[in-house]
A = this chain, B = another copy of it.
Amino acid sequence: MPKIRSIVSAITLVGSISVASAWEALPTTAPAPANNPTTAEKVELGRILYHDPRLSSTGTVSCASCHNTMLGGEDNRPNSMGVHGQTGGRSAPTVWNSAFNKVQFWDGRAASLEEQAAGPVTNPIEMGMKSWDDVVVRLKSIEGYQAYFDKAFGENSISKDNATKAIAAYERTLITPNSAYDKYAKGDKKALTAQQIRGLKSVAKLGCTTCHSGPAFNGGGSFQKFPVINNAFLEKKYQFANDKGLFEVTAKSGDEHFFKVPTLRNIALTAPYFHNGSVETLEKAVKVMAKVQLDKKLSVEETADIVAFLNALTGEFPKQTMPTLPATNGTSFN
C-alpha cells in the first residue's frame, strides 16, 4: 500500500532557523508485520473484540474503556480504572496512531501491537481475566464469534494468538490524518495560523523534535530518559521518578526512568499528561517538558505558541460503525 508522505526540509519551513528535523505528514496506512497482514475480515473481528467488555472478569471493561476511540483514544484520566474500580500508576496512552510506535506500553515492553493487546486482558487491575485460556473458553462459548474467526483466520481458529492479531489489525486502521499540520506539511501554507507557525518554529529550535521526531512526533517509538534534569520543585509536585520505566521490566542499570517517546499527535485530546498522568493541562505539560528535558524556562507567549501548534496536530477521526457484539445467548458470565 502506498504511503502518502510529504517530506519538506525543516529549513524550508522554519525559514532562517536551521534544524535537523524534517516535517512529514502522517501516513494514511500503517505497516503490518509479515505474520499478520491486515485484512478487512481481521479488522472487523478486531473491532468487535476491542469493544467487547466480556473480555474482562466483570464484563465491564473492554479495550475501548481505557483506549476510547470516541474520545482521544484514551480515557482523559490520570490513571485508568479497571475492574472493581481499581487504578494503576500509569496513564493510558492513546490508541490512535499507535501503529506508528515501534514499541508499545509506556515502558516499551511490548514489541508489537499484537503483544500489547494480550497484556491488559489478564492484568488483575485492568481487565482481570485469570488467563487467556479462560478468555478463549469464553469466546468459544459465544456462538457468533466462531463465524468471525472463521472468516478472518480459517476454521477452528479461536485462540489468544488470533484474537490479539485481530485486535492489532483493527488498531492499525486507527489513523488520524489531515490535521492542520499535515496540510501545512503537504504545502498548504494557510493551514496553520501565524501563532501555530511560531509554535512550530519554537518546537524545532528548542529541541523538542530531537525526541518527538518523525511523522508521528514519537521518534518512531524510541526510548528516552525522563526526566533528564531533576528539578526538586517539579519532582515534589509531580513525582515523576517513582516510576522507573524500562528498568521496572529489565532491572538493568542504565534503564532507570527510560520511557517510550509518546506521540504528540492529538495531544490536545489526551490530558492529563505524562506517564503518571500527573500534569493537568497541556500548557503545564509544555512548560514542564521544556524545564526537565531542555532546561529552558519558556515565556508565556512561547508556551501559548507551542500549545497552539500542538492543537494543529489534532487529526481527522475516521467514521466508525458501532459493532454489534455476538450475543451471549440466554446466559451470562457474571
Contacts and interface: CB of A to CB of B under 8 A. Distances in A.
Given A70-B325, A268-B329, A321-B320, A77 B58 contact: yes
A126 B182 CA distance: 41
A156 interface: no
Given A75-B59, A77-B60, A85-B84, A272 B70 contact: no
B60 A329 contact: no
Given A85-B84, A322-B320, A327 B269 contact: yes
Contacts of A271: 328, 330-332
Contact of A321 (B68, B283, B322): B322
A16 interface: no
A65 interface: yes
A333 interface: yes
B78 A334 contact: yes
A86 interface: yes
A83 B87 CA distance: 12
A190 interface: no
Nearest to A328: B76
27 contacts: A53-B68, A53-B71, A54-B76, A58-B77, A58-B81, A59-B77, A60-B75, A60-B81, A69-B322, A70-B323, A70-B325, A71-B327, A77-B332, A78-B334, A268-B327, A269-B328, A271-B331, A272-B332, A272-B334, A281-B331, A282-B330, A283-B330, A307-B330, A311-B329, A314-B327, A319-B322, A322-B322
A332 B277 CA distance: 10
A257 interface: no
A280 B70 contact: no
Contacts of A199: none
Number of copies: 2
B85 A332 contact: no
Contacts of A283: 330
Interface string A295-334: 0000000000001000100100101111111011111111
Contacts of A69: 322
A275 interface: no
Interface in A236-289: 268-269, 271-272, 280-283
B71 A325 contact: yes
A121 to B, nearest CB: 17
Interface string A55-97: 0001110000100111110011110010111100000000000
Nearest to A326: B71
A42 interface: no
Nearest to A269: B327
A307 to B, nearest CB: 7
A58 B84 CA distance: 13
Contacts of A269: 327-329
Contact of A75 (B53, B281, B320): B53
